[in-house]
């Protein structure tokens, strides 16, 4: 049926674009004979009826259809890699892409909308369709996805009474404004309009939150009234299916292992219906300071093999996990506060850099065996490289940088990041805030849980300790021959919780009074250190002004600068953080993400489009102690 050019060695296999292959199949007479799972957006010229529930199966344009989906979140993959990832998905035998829409990135400040570059959702959806994939869209407003505040904008928290994910006016007003902007854009790309969107998920795992019985119906109406007309679904874990479910909306399941009770529960809720495992996952994300989570591919395949004969549809989470670039990662709150690491590899079928995993091959083989999908040779993987170790040349301490920042704010009491009078009233979403005051006596400093999340304490620029979720007391020994001493607390927002009712309590920075011998500290000077790209590019002094040469180990917090020479074309790499303590990395003035010696992640992925031929600037904001070298790796080092 299809001709594939094959030149012997695997690395020489020519890949014909799926678009080309599918063109040959646009013949409506043939459609009924095509495999049910391989009706692609490129084949269907006539659009009458989209995805429908008929008895225990889905139909698309009236033909039985089984959803074989994978999740790729466009904001975690560099835009230049979108197409190749989608192509790999199609070649793996998948027919549908699931993607989530992060409100906090699309509307970082009230009414400031961003839908371009790496946030060009429409370009991503269009690309999926060009590559032969249908789309299930999760427009939120809450998406979870292990993001900071589950993808909700932090400016919502300026309102002390905010009730996120409810019909509280302050929330619905903001949501309606966002949906007025978002929904008409996506509505045009629905199946019925000739686009690839075959289904839309309402919210995410609401059953586990369930603070307002009326909320889900409200979100449904908000979508439908703005033009969403394709199949609607809800998605919940097995225990919360009933609570998250809405009448006349298909309930789908999130789960790690197949459980008979769960799909029986599903049946008892909605009768005979197709079963869609909306999050089918091998493992979980990693968190700082914990051991790495490993998936069990054997287990995974066993479950998939069980799902197939039962007629299940599913979405594999993640197909390509990508990276929590910058500060977008959230945190989890089971057994303490656990911030998510920078890599969002998630035991996905493609690694962070898009390399195939052995599991990809297993899935591909299986899908081609059980569906008679055309065998497509997946595209080659662009090699990564370990550059020669770099010598770190220059540094500048944070204290030396302070005079170059915007005027600090003055406040009697501490102010949380969200409440800071910044960014046209939107507060500070991410990064660090430095709180400074003067003390005239020593004693016991107590934070009473008001340091969110991690505060390094300095007395006259000397590090004296850390206050965080686990430590809330620190003894301050004052120098008696000085009258006053400066006390500084550098507070890092390590990521807001991404789920649970406690998201309503999330405030970062100093969220209340800090006491010295039971007296609350007052008269703060507050510096916002959001570490935005513009700050690195324009506020930091240029070389050689103010920069000093690194000799020996320099104590943080400080910025370290080094230069990496790269050939043409640039190749991606991993920066190893061996020898460094904790901080963030910037490549050519763009924030890459967090690193921390406690692991498990030991190297940060640098996509090749971030590099250019010639000299590239690598800057590290190191909080603890700098190293004199930067090492590279050609493979991920996600820990043990």
Ligand X SMILES: *[C@@H]1O[C@H](CO)[C@@H](O)[C@H](O)[C@H]1NC(C)=O
482 binds ligand X per the rule CB under 6 A: yes
Could you write out the DSSP letters of every residue in 183-233?
HHHHHTTBGGGTSSEEEEE-SSSGGGT-S-TTHHHHHHHHHHTTT--SEEE
Which C-beta is closer to ligand X: that of 334 or that of 481?
481
Q: Is 483 in the site for ligand X (CB under 6 A)?
A: no
Tell me the Ramachandran region of residue 537: left when phi exceeds 0, alpha when psi lies from -120 to 50, beta otherwise: alpha
Smallest separation, CB 482 to ligand X (Å): 5
Q: Which stretch binds ligand X (CB under 6 A): 307-315, 395-403, 479-487, 559-567?
A: 479-487
Asked if 481 interacts with ligand X (CB under 6 A), we say: yes
Quick one: which segment of 22-30, 304-312, 450-458, 476-484 binds ligand X (CB under 6 A)? 476-484
Per-residue DSSP letters for 327-385? T-B-EE-TTS-EEBPSB--TT-SB-TT--B-HHHHHHHHHHHHHS-PPP-PPPPPPPP-
Q: Which is nearer to ligand X, 442 or 520 (CB)?
A: 442
User: Dihedral sign, CA of 562, 567, 572, 578?
Assistant: negative
- In whole angstroms, give the CA distance from residue 18 to residue 376: 8
Q: How many CB atoms lie within 10 A of CB 290?
A: 15
Q: What are residue 42's phi and psi, to 5 degrees? A: -80, -20
Pairing of strands 614-622, 558-566: antiparallel
- What are the residues facing 591 on neighbouring strands? 586
Q: Which stretch binds ligand X (CB under 6 A): 129-137, 324-332, 446-454, 475-483?
A: 475-483
* HSE-up of residue 233 (Cα within 13 Å, Cβ side): 29
CB of 460 to ligand X, least distance (A): 8
DSSP structural state of residue 443: E
Going residue by residue from 433 to 472, which x/- string records binding to ligand X, judged by CB under 6 A?
A: ----------------------------------------
Of 162 and 476, CB closest to ligand X: 476
User: Is residue 375 within the footprint of ligand X (CB under 6 A)?
Assistant: no
Least Å from the CB of residue 481 to ligand X: 4
Size of the site for ligand X (CB under 6 A): 3
Of 108-116, 185-193, 477-485, 592-600, the segment contacting ligand X by CB under 6 A is 477-485
Tokens of 254: 């999130």
CB 30 within 8 A of CB 279: no
Q: Which is nearer to ligand X, 383 or 482 (CB)?
A: 482
Q: Which helix (H) or strand (E) holds 182?
A: helix 169-187
Give the range of 215-223, 474-482, 572-580, 610-618 binding ligand X by CB under 6 A.
474-482
φ, ψ dihedrals at 169, nearest 5°: -50, -45
Taking the least distance from each CB to ligand X, the nearer of 443 and 500 is 443
Using alpha carbons, select from 204, 502, 206 the residue that is nearest to residue 333: 502
Task: State yes or no: residue 46 binds ligand X (CB under 6 A).
Answer: no
- The least distance separating ligand X from the CB of residue 479, rounded to whole angstroms, comes to 4
- From the list 479, 519, 538, 549, which residue makes contact with ligand X (rule: CB under 6 A)? 479
Minimum separation from the CB atom of position 445 to ligand X (A) = 18
Which part of the chain contacts ligand X (CB under 6 A), choosing from 16-24, 135-143, 300-308, 478-486?
A: 478-486
Output the smallest distance, CB 483 to ligand X, in A.
Answer: 10
* Closest residue to ligand X, based on beta-carbon distance: 479
Q: Which is nearer to ligand X, 413 or 482 (CB)?
A: 482
* Interaction site with ligand X (CB under 6 A): 479, 481-482
């Amino acid at each position: 049926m299809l001709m594939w050019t094959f030149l012997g060695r695997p690395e020489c296999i020519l890949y014909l674009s799926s678009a080309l292959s599918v063109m040959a199949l646009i013949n409506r007479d043939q459609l009924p004979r095509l495999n049910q799972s391989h009706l692609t957006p490129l084949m269907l010229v006539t659009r009458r009826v989209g995805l429908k529930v008929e008895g225990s199966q889905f139909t698309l344009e009236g033909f039985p259809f089984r959803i074989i989906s994978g999740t790729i979140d466009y904001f975690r993959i560099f835009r230049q890699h979108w197409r190749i990832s989608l192509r790999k998905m199609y070649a793996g035998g998948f027919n549908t892409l699931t993607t989530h829409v992060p409100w906090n990135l699309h509307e970082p400040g009230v009414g400031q909308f961003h839908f371009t570059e790496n946030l060009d959702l429409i370009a991503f959806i269009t690309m999926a369709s060009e590559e032969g994939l249908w789309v299930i869209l999760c427009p939120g407003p809450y998406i979870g996805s292990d993001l900071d505040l589950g993808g909700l904008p932090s400016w919502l928290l300026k309102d002390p009474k905010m009730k996120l994910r409810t019909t509280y006016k302050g929330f619905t007003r903001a949501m309606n404004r966002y949906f007025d902007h978002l929904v008409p854009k996506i509505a045009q790309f629905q199946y019925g309009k000739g686009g690839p969107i075959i289904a839309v998920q309402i919210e995410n795992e609401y059953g586990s939150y369930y603070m307002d019985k009326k909320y889900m119906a409200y979100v449904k109406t908000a979508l439908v009234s703005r033009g969403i007309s394709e199949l609607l679904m809800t998605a919940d874990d097995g225990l919360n299916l009933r609570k998250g479910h809405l009448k006349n909306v298909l309930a789908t399941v999130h789960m790690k292992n197949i459980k008979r009770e769960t799909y029986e529960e599903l049946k008892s809720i909605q009768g005979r219906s197709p079963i869609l495992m909306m999050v089918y996952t091998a493992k979980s994300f990693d968190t700082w300071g914990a051991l790495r989570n490993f998936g069990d591919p054997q287990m995974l395949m066993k479950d998939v093999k069980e799902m197939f004969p039962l007629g299940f549809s599913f979405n594999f989470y993640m197909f390509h996990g990508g990276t929590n670039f910058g500060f977008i990662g959230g945190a989890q709150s089971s057994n303490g506060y656990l911030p998510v690491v920078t890599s969002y590899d998630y035991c996905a079928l493609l690694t962070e850099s898009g390399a195939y995993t052995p599991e990809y091959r297993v899935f591909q083989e299986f899908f081609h065996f059980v569906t008679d999908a055309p065998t497509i040779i997946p595209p080659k993987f662009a090699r990564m490289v370990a550059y020669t170790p770099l010598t770190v040349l220059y540094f500048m301490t944070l204290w030396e940088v302070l005079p170059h920042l915007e005027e600090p704010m003055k406040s009697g009491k501490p102010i949380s990041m969200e409440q800071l009078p910044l960014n046209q009233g939107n507060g500070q979403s991410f990064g660090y805030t430095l709180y400074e005051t003067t003390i005239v006596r020593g004693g016991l400093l107590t934070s009473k849980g008001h340091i969110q999340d991690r505060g390094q304490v300095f007395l006259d620029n000397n590090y004296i300790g850390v206050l965080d979720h686990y430590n809330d007391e620190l003894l301050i020994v004052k120098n008696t021959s000085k009258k006053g001493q400066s006390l500084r607390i550098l507070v890092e927002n390590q990521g807001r919780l991404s789920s649970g009712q406690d998201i309503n309590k999330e405030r970062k920075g100093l969220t209340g009074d800090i006491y010295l011998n039971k007296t609350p500290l007052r008269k703060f000077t507050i510096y916002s250190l959001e570490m935005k790209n513009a700050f690195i590019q324009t506020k930091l002094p240029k070389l050689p002004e103010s920069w000093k040469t690194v000799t020996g180990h320099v104590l943080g917090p400080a910025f370290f600068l080094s230069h990496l020479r790269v050939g043409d074309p640039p190749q991606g790499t991993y920066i190893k953080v061996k020898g460094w303590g904790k901080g963030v990395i910037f490549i050519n003035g763009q924030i890459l993400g967090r690193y921390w010696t406690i692991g498990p992640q030991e190297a940060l992925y640098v996509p090749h489009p971030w590099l250019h031929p010639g000299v590239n600037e690598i800057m590290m904001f190191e909080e603890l102690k700098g190293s004199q070298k930067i090492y590279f790796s050609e493979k991920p080092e996600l820990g043990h």
